[in-house]
Structure 1
Amino acid sequence: MGKTLVVGAGGVSHAAVHKMAMNSDIFTEITLASRTKAKCDAIAASVKERTGVTIQTAALDAMDVAATVALIKETGAEILVNLALPYQDLKLMDACLEAGCHYLDTANYEPEDVAKFEYHWQWAYQDKFKEAGLTAILGSGFDPGVTSVFATWLKKHKLATIRQIDVLDANGGSNDQAFATNFNPEINLREVLAEARHWENGAWQVTPAMTHKVEFDFPGIGPKNMYLMYHEELESLSAHFPEIERARFWMTFGDAYIMHAKVLENVGMTRIDPVMHDGKEIIPIQFLKTLLPDPGTLAEETKGKACIGDIATGQAKDGSGEKTYYIYNICDHEECFREVGSQAVSYTTGVPAMIGAAQVLKGNWVEPGVWNMEQLDPDDFMDMLNNHGLPWQVHELDGPVSF
């Protein structure tokens, strides 16, 4: 159905490109580009070995708009799938506008020198994409992404309104590392150590990072400590579902992870501003990233499962009063590795990126403008989750969450 340019060659890209190659009726030609072409070539070799599909590779500086425009035109790409760093979102959106190409990403824009990720920078592109007749899809990962589609599916099929929603993300996986992040260490630590914010009664409520802890019994995993955090889907859900009174995001962390993260923060290793070291300017968190394990290399040794989903409460569509539903996916790290050579965290982001791009190429989500996932029809996306490795379940609970 379409030619696709994927930018970025990390763990998420590894999973997404393999799944695109497994759907060659939709993704007729795939080009993978990154600053380091060798990483693209390694993924391409794996794709060829596992699927028999040949993909093209290219070197690209995603901050170079002219170079991206040239590559879009050279490849004839109909959609650019941005799996690079969130610092690069706006430059890649600019390139798509200039080249006449649809756009999709998995994480919202964040300035490199300020640990603050918000959608307003990308929402400001609404008129530009509308006037160009192009579609931009924001946040087509799992959270954000699938969790937003889950909410829309509940509103379409179960609930007339959503009064409150909690997004719960549990990684029950383990490996032999003393300290390792599940995805890009720089982005992970910036996100985890940011102050916690949640939406309640029409305003943002702010608490210090990693201070609000609750134990929850996750399907397929068991009891885990989860922490209140800020995550970008809270911003878009509260904007597009104005009836929401409370929206919160929770993620699980072990005690060892929290201890390491706090120590690294306390000694200055998570700083994002430049410091002088031995006569050279370095950014501590970027130096730390070079010391920590690359999450993409840990797939083979990671065991256990991940469980991500929404618990939403609102008025039932059938008029039977207030109902609460828990909708979630359970994903096994070892099964992901057997299929595509990735761990579950990369898989649960890469597969939705593939499915979101497929919605554009299939014509389901082609509407000029800039859109978050909860604004789009959920049904075919949800069907594809079931058919492409991320089956979901929905259960009615006895009542709203008590935490």
Structure 2
Amino acid sequence: MKKNVLIIGAGGVAQVAAFKAAMHNDVLGDIHIASRTVSKCEAIIAGILDKKALKRPGVLAAHALDALDVAATKALIAQTKSQIVINAGSAFLNMSVLQACVETGAAYIDTAIHEEPGKICETPPWYGNYEWKHRDSCERKGVTAILGAGFDPGVVNAYAAMAARHYFDSIASIDIIDVNAGSHGRYFATNFDPEINFREFTGTVWSWQNSQWTANAMFEVNRTDDLPVVGNHTTYLTGHDEIHSLSANLDVPDIRFWMGFGEHYINVFTVLKNLGLLSEQPVTTAEGVEIVPLKVVKAVLPDPVSLAPDYAGKTFIGDLIVGERDGEAAELLVYNICDHEETYAETNSQAISYTAGVPVVAAAILIAKGVWDCHHMANIEELPPLPFIELIGEMGLPTRLRDAKGDRAFDPAEFRTERQKTKSRA
């Protein structure tokens, strides 16, 4: 069994991860939180102690770290005797943290695909540009590296794998739908790092259609669905991490990601983009100062963590899957509903952070117990989905299903039969 967890990052997702790791420190051991700003780590620890979230007395420590510094990250892994590293920081950190884990033998988990500051919406399959290039070194050294273990990517990948292995005989399409039906009361804000948030939407929208990559512009294609609990919502075709791995690992011709946006968000986004304020490329002011417009926008917007106390409403994230089962056409909606006020009461965080932070700790627990300690690099859909889906339900993210039988809670006993396998790793 692996023990002792190092959480890198001190934003909303890292905060939830730290709370949940503390609640399971009987399995995970010592919990360490590291960030460039150590005071943010200390604030998270103060919140955990205030809510008495530690399951049992144990180590809960804060550390200053520049995670782009591989040597410093390796030293902290060794100092803390951490055997599992949760990279809950910026996606810009992935490759350096992964390298530190490969060189120390610690298991690696992240929540999003790697990004380079000067590039956006890279040519598919995006994972092939970065993480997948290190598959051989992980396998050679027996290092477990689990990619995209948040909710989307992450849980939605497990939903797709569950459907492929245990429900359908063949799948024609997977439509991943993400709707935040909550409100934070601010004029304008993003629910996670503004820099990463905007970068998702300023370039080409890549989707997998007719077994090939298809390019669209942001807000060009939309759909409207009547969704459980949150009701009728319009969502927009958006490029997203999970499409880049699901298209490689599942034999499905159409895989798309849809995200909900209000009219106000679209209007503000459009103005910022048209003014060039969402550019990731540096410009020089009249005073000779070089700045990146997107970083300026990030600096003036509210910190996503600060939104949590005023957030109300619910989120919906799920997979709408169409295929064939027992010789007949079939449709399955697999989804989760999360409540902003409930997640704040438990972890001082809003539901967007909660839906990403809970699964990454569930992945750590499965590694610690040996269930997912695979000793190679894997995306979520390449791992057994049922233990993961069952565990996140126990940890606060219950799954529901809607099909011809009606809407009901997920029961793992219903999905024990193997119908098909995911494709072997490319």
Alignment TM-score, normalising by the size of structure 2:
0.91
Matches of 1:10 and 1:279 in 2, distance apart?
A: 32
Matches of 1:36 and 1:351 in 2, distance apart?
A: 23
Matches of 1:349 and 1:65 in 2, distance apart?
A: 25
Q: Which residue of the partner structure matches residue 387 of structure 1?
A: 394
1:203 to 201, 205, 212: 212
Q: Note the residue ranges of structure 2 that are not aligned, 5 or more in a row.
A: 406-426
Quote how far apart the aligned CAs of 1:202 are.
2.1
Matches of 2:293 and 2:154 in 1, distance apart?
A: 30
**Where has structure 1 moved over 3 Å in runs of 4 or more?**
none
Matches of 1:137 and 1:225 in 2, distance apart?
A: 32
Matches of 1:213 and 1:314 in 2, distance apart?
A: 22
Matches of 1:144 and 1:194 in 2, distance apart?
A: 19
Matches of 1:194 and 1:127 in 2, distance apart?
A: 31
- Is 1:249 equivalent to 2:249 in the alignment? no
Contact 2:121-2:205 at 8 Å conserved across structures: no
SS of 1:125's equivalent in the other structure is helix
Q: Note the residue ranges of structure 1 that are not aligned, 5 or more in a row.
A: 399-403
Q: Which residue of the partner structure matches residue 260 of structure 1?
A: 268
Give the aligned length: 395
Matches of 1:71 and 1:160 in 2, distance apart?
A: 47
SS of 1:170's equivalent in the other structure is strand
SS of 1:313's equivalent in the other structure is strand
Contact 1:133-1:368 at 8 Å conserved across structures: yes
- Is 1:141 equivalent to 2:150 in the alignment? yes
- Is 1:283 equivalent to 2:292 in the alignment? yes
Contact 2:180-2:260 at 8 Å conserved across structures: yes
Quote how far apart the aligned CAs of 1:397 are.
4.8
Quote how far apart the aligned CAs of 1:322 are.
2.5
Deviation larger for 256-265 or 365-374: 365-374
SS of 2:25's equivalent in the other structure is coil
Matches of 1:128 and 1:52 in 2, distance apart?
A: 37
1:95 to 84, 97, 100: 100
Q: Which residue of the partner structure matches residue 401 of structure 1?
A: none
- Is 1:17 equivalent to 2:25 in the alignment? no
Matches of 2:28 and 2:377 in 1, distance apart?
A: 22
Q: Which residue of the partner structure matches residue 42 of structure 1?
A: 43
Q: Write out per-residue CA displacement over residues 257-314 of structure 1, whole angstroms, 9 at most, x where no aligned residue.
A: 0000010001111011111122211111011101001111010101100000001112
- Is 1:378 equivalent to 2:379 in the alignment? no
Q: Which residue of the partner structure matches residue 27 of structure 2?
A: 26
- Is 1:212 equivalent to 2:221 in the alignment? yes
Alignment TM-score, normalising by the size of structure 1:
0.96
The equivalences for 1:292-331 within 5 A come to 292-316=301-325, 319-331=326-338
Matches of 1:390 and 1:176 in 2, distance apart?
A: 25
For residue 274 of structure 1, what is the amino acid of its counterpart?
A: P
Over the matched positions of the two proteins, sequence identity in percent amounts to 39
SS of 2:157's equivalent in the other structure is helix
Quote how far apart the aligned CAs of 1:52 are.
5.0
The equivalences for 1:41-80 within 5 A come to 41-51=42-52, 53=54, 54-80=59-85
SS of 2:150's equivalent in the other structure is coil
Matches of 1:262 and 1:338 in 2, distance apart?
A: 34
Matches of 1:249 and 1:52 in 2, distance apart?
A: 35
SS of 2:171's equivalent in the other structure is coil
1:188 to 191, 197, 207: 197
Q: Write out per-residue CA displacement over residues 88-121 of structure 1, whole angstroms, 9 at most, x where no aligned residue.
A: 1011111111111110000011111101352111
